[in-house]
Structure 1
Amino acid sequence: MWIVLGLLTVFWLPDIQTAYYCEDAIVRCEEDSVWTRCYEDKILTCDQRGRSNPHFVRLSLNSSLETLNVAVGQQHRVFIPLSALKRTRRVDKGQTTVVATVINSSRFQLDPHQGSDQGQAAQLKRRSGSVMGQSVLVVRVGEHPVKNLLVPVRLTFRHNLPEMEEGTCVFWQDSGLENGTGFWITDGCDTNRTASEFVCTCNHLSFFAVLVNPVSSVAKRDFMALSYISYIGSALSVVFTIISLIIYKCTHRRPTDKSIGVHMNLTVALLFLHLSFLVCCFLVQLLNENWENWVCPGLGLLLHWSLLATFSWMALEGFHIYLLLIRVFNIYIRRYLLKVSLVGWGLPTLTVVVCWVFSVYGKHTLVVIDDNGQNSTAHMCWLSSDFPQMRPVYYTTTVTLPCSVVLSNCCLLVLVVIKLRRLRREGGNNWRNMCKDRGGQLVKDCTTVLGLSCVLGLTWAFTSTTYVSIPGMYIFTVLNSLQGVFMFLWSLALISRSRADNSSLRDTSSQKMMMTSFNSNNEK
């Protein structure tokens, strides 16, 4: 009898010890070097305890089932096409086990490392952000990986997010360093949003989630290069905007000149913008926790106010050019400079005061990937990353306003080009002379249009390229950090053209165009 008991102990007790419940599968895999692979294997064979868990679905399918559409709890649904099931049946010889479950996102350590085969394109597909509902949907079909599907799987995530919130479907990619870390990536997944759902279509099976307000991470070398370009460009803009103000003051002493007043206010706004940007970037590194609580919000307010004031005066610059160039007859506005100043400085001031009351400003965190592919953070004084409604405030004040200004000024520039062509045709007797110097006139016209583009802030249209590629970030950074320099060159061009026109009236259309954006014949 003791011999029988001993044999039962040897052969039956190990089977009892190796049995485990599905709820414990993730705990058993925590010490594994790549816990995600371990977890995918264990959920195929684990035992379900008691009543079925709505967040854990496991089905054994035979060859008669064509597709699978199953709910995982109340918030998730999985649709698996026939092609995915057929592929696993060929490998697993008929019977296929399908598992769909939801786990907490806290298990995933965002400590990505860049593999040797991952370049800039792979980095742009990485995403960082908050996992919606802290829920990760795991889908496993059969014992072997399923990828490169011609008909994608469809994953549904129910949500109650406001319209201002954005979301992107991602899946978990192991870092390859055998330490259990990885990163979220969008490769092979598309996002479709409805009023109540995110529908993710992916060509493979993995760990899926929806990142709320995801942002692209930037490699550290690119971040450092962009930072140096911004610092140098902003420093040059500070210097040249000061010189521009001195030139305006010395060459135009009439206090009633409306155009010069608008130009000077725009230049002052640019000076504040670049100066506050430099202060916010450098001073945040020197602040301790005590100073940071009130100094950094103040600097963030200053930077936000400067940005809003800059776009306000760009819009007013476009409005002023419209009055002078398009509606040139019977235009008189009493106390014109005072009224536009109230708009140009008043609206930004009112906006930042409201934001200050709601504690919008503080330390803003940026995600950076270092040379080893590891995530790190950089800080600046701006809209606080900890403010719950930071995204709506950001999109309303720093996306909607610039887009509106750029769009309206683009339309104005088109009208300017049309007006320029019309003035050319009105040259009359001088048309033959102008044809002889067509190349020179083309250069002058291009200079006028480019100068007006800088004055009207059209270089900010390159903001859209920053979401597409790293070169787009460089183009945007160079053009807008040097905007003060461009304003200085524009002021020099206007002054030199003004003096040239005093001695030669050979090109009446250029004279009208340049002087329209610089001088006004209407007195206060």
Structure 2
Amino acid sequence: MRRDLCCFNSSGKRQMRSFSDKMGLHDLLIFCIFFSITLTMTGAVECHRVLEFCQRNDRNIPSCLESTMRNCQTPRNVPPPDPDFYMKNMHFSEEAKLKTKYGHVIRIPSEAIVKSGGMENVSVSLKVSVLSNSIFQAPSVRGSVHGRVLGVWLGEQDLYNLSQPVKMQFVNTSQNVSGKCVFWKQSNNAGLWSSEGCNTSRNNIDFVCSCNHLSFFAVLINPGSVQDAEDVHRLEYITYIGSSFSVLFTAIVIILFLIQRKRKSEHSVVIHVQLSGSLFLLHLFFLASTLGSGTEKKPVCQCLGLILHWALLATFTWTAIEGFHLYLLLVRVFNIYIRRYLLKLSLVGWGFPIITVVICGLAGSYGKYSLTESNNNETNLCWITDKTVSYITVNTYLGLVLVFNTAIMVLIVVKMWQLKLRGVQTGSRIRRLWKDWATMLGLSVILGLPWGLAFSTYGPLSLPGIYLFTTLNAFQGVFVFLWFLSTTCKSTHDERTSTKDISMSNFSS
């Protein structure tokens, strides 16, 4: 046997020598590079350096953190030099608890420790990283990330569907905001904040997130949201009832106009009807979007969101056209004939919103939009999911329309004041006063000035502002119907008076 062993050693040495002779410097370099890459991929990165490694080598930092942190190297008996990284070995018989210097408290149930591989004599590593929210870029209008993001890992396995939730406490620095617990849901090369599997509660002031899985966690806040669930339900009732009435009364306006088509209508009446049509579509598809948001078919919700956006932009555009028409009647007065006037206004009123929503639709800006409430319930709507698109096409456009129509309203008030000083108005003083106020309120609705209350829903008077904004704009269709009725009756009365005067003059002659 000794002899055989000696023969084996002798042949082995000859083979190794032969292999080293054949292996050149170039092959040795390739082997070393491959070996170093293999070490890196199998967890050669130290845990406290994973963030630095991902920022340097990967564009999708959350995905890199998720995959690398599970297999990173954990130095023994050496505290991590990164103050935002925490690590603790946990045994299966105890509940894991870890605190950060920012006030976060993370509690891991024993069930999660057992599922991650923890046994009687085997411990698992709990890793927590406090990250900047700038790492996570997601197109969302649901709110902004409150403070920092927590990344939580336990062992090397992915944990989900836990019967005992993982609880995380986030410090709330402001009492006047409502928040919702979310986690980072990775999808291909992008990600988004999702609330699946997470519940939100309050511990006095702080937010407590209870989730049935591990991931990156944060709290989305919305400073303009309603805090009390009862207020939310009241506002929902006002919105649904008001929108239903607006659909009904704007439909009546359109029907009355179609019945009277034989008689030549003034341009103002036709523009009122066009505005009524846009409001009819707006409230109708708002109700449809709230119902359609529960569907699992994503294209259906995207289509409803696109149509709702188009109807809203059409409403804003027709209110601006109302202001433009009043400018021609009250300021220019003379030489205001425009060839094919109504056709050109219709192309602007309906065409501009179509172009806008087509561009937004091609950019994929529509989907399910969730409104966050304080009691962890959600009111979903098929709407714009991109915050930038919402700010530009809704907030900015509405602001421009309101500035223009407010200037027109000021001109109308000046004209009315000049007529009053000249003594042109007739009738009793009280009657004139009521008539002036009714005219002002009617024109305010036609010019869309109640939409400006949207900018008053923030600050100390946010709750009264939300109630006032919701009520006036939900019932806007009813107000437009009353204005249309008053103008139509006035026009009919003037025609009858004029006909009567002509008849009397002919009789006397």
Q: TM-score, normalised by structure 1?
A: 0.57
1:297 is aligned, of 280, 302, 305, to 302
* Amino acid paired to 1:124: N
Aligned to 1:231: 240
Aligned to 1:461: 452
Quickly say closer, same or farther: Cα 1:212–1:279, change in 2 above 3 A: closer
* Whole-Å separation in 2 of the counterparts to 1:258 and 1:126: 48
The alignment status of 1:474 with 2:467, answered yes or no, reads: yes
Shift of 1:486: 0.3
How do residues 418-497 of structure 1 correspond to structure 2 at under 5 angstroms? 418-427=414-423, 434=427, 437-468=428-459, 469-497=462-490
* Whole-Å separation in 2 of the counterparts to 1:225 and 1:112: 32
* Amino acid paired to 1:355: C
More relative contact order in 1 or in 2 (CA 8 Å, sep 6+)? 1
* Whole-Å separation in 2 of the counterparts to 1:225 and 1:111: 32
Q: What is the SS of the residue equivalent to 1:105?
A: strand
Identity across matched positions, percent: 39
Shift of 1:472: 1.5
Shift of 1:129: 9.1
8 A Cα contact 2:306 2:383, kept in partner: yes
Aligned to 1:124: 176
* Whole-Å separation in 1 of the counterparts to 2:104 and 2:396: 48
8 A Cα contact 2:176 2:223, kept in partner: no
- 1:222-246 C-alpha deviation (Å, 9 max, x unpaired): 2222111111100000000011122
- 1:286-325 C-alpha deviation (Å, 9 max, x unpaired): x2x3xx2211111011100000001011101110111011
How do residues 75-90 of structure 1 correspond to structure 2 at under 5 angstroms? none
* Amino acid paired to 1:277: F
Say how many residue pairs are matched: 347
* Whole-Å separation in 1 of the counterparts to 2:264 and 2:497: 27
* Amino acid paired to 1:357: L
* Whole-Å separation in 2 of the counterparts to 1:245 and 1:359: 34
Q: What is the SS of the residue equivalent to 1:124?
A: coil
Bigger Cα Rg: 2
Quickly say closer, same or farther: Cα 1:178–1:266, change in 2 above 3 A: closer
Aligned to 1:405: 401
Aligned to 2:388: 392
Shift of 1:496: 3.2
Quickly say closer, same or farther: Cα 1:111–1:312, change in 2 above 3 A: farther
Q: What is the SS of the residue equivalent to 1:363?
A: strand
Aligned to 2:40: none
8 A Cα contact 1:361 1:382, kept in partner: yes
Shift of 1:176: 2.6
Q: What is the SS of the residue equivalent to 2:379?
A: strand
* Whole-Å separation in 2 of the counterparts to 1:298 and 1:111: 38
* Whole-Å separation in 2 of the counterparts to 1:346 and 1:33: 60
* Amino acid paired to 1:21: P
8 A Cα contact 2:226 2:232, kept in partner: no
How do residues 298-337 of structure 1 correspond to structure 2 at under 5 angstroms? 298-337=303-342
The alignment status of 1:266 with 2:275, answered yes or no, reads: yes
1:275 is aligned, of 281, 284, 300, to 284
* Whole-Å separation in 1 of the counterparts to 2:254 and 2:320: 20
* Amino acid paired to 2:334: F
* Whole-Å separation in 1 of the counterparts to 2:182 and 2:458: 19
Q: What is the SS of the residue equivalent to 1:378?
A: strand
Shift of 1:182: 6.2
Unaligned runs of 5+ in 2: 1-76, 106-128, 135-146, 154-164, 185-199, 211-217, 499-509
8 A Cα contact 2:177 2:223, kept in partner: no
Quickly say closer, same or farther: Cα 1:324–1:365, change in 2 above 3 A: same
* Whole-Å separation in 1 of the counterparts to 2:346 and 2:390: 24
Aligned to 1:366: 371
* Whole-Å separation in 2 of the counterparts to 1:110 and 1:253: 70
- 1:69-113 C-alpha deviation (Å, 9 max, x unpaired): xxx99x9xxxxxxxxxxxxxxxxxxxxxxxxxx975335999899
* Whole-Å separation in 2 of the counterparts to 1:408 and 1:332: 22
Q: What is the SS of the residue equivalent to 1:181?
A: strand
Shift of 1:499: 4.3
The alignment status of 1:355 with 2:360, answered yes or no, reads: yes
- CA RMSD, aligned part only? 4.4
8 A Cα contact 2:369 2:382, kept in partner: yes
Shift of 1:20: 7.8
Q: TM-score, normalised by structure 2?
A: 0.59
8 A Cα contact 1:123 1:218, kept in partner: no
Aligned to 1:142: none
Aligned to 2:380: 379
Shift of 1:175: 3.5
* Amino acid paired to 2:304: L
The alignment status of 1:176 with 2:176, answered yes or no, reads: no
How do residues 196-235 of structure 1 correspond to structure 2 at under 5 angstroms? 216=225, 218-235=227-244
* Whole-Å separation in 2 of the counterparts to 1:350 and 1:365: 26
8 A Cα contact 2:272 2:484, kept in partner: no
8 A Cα contact 2:323 2:447, kept in partner: yes
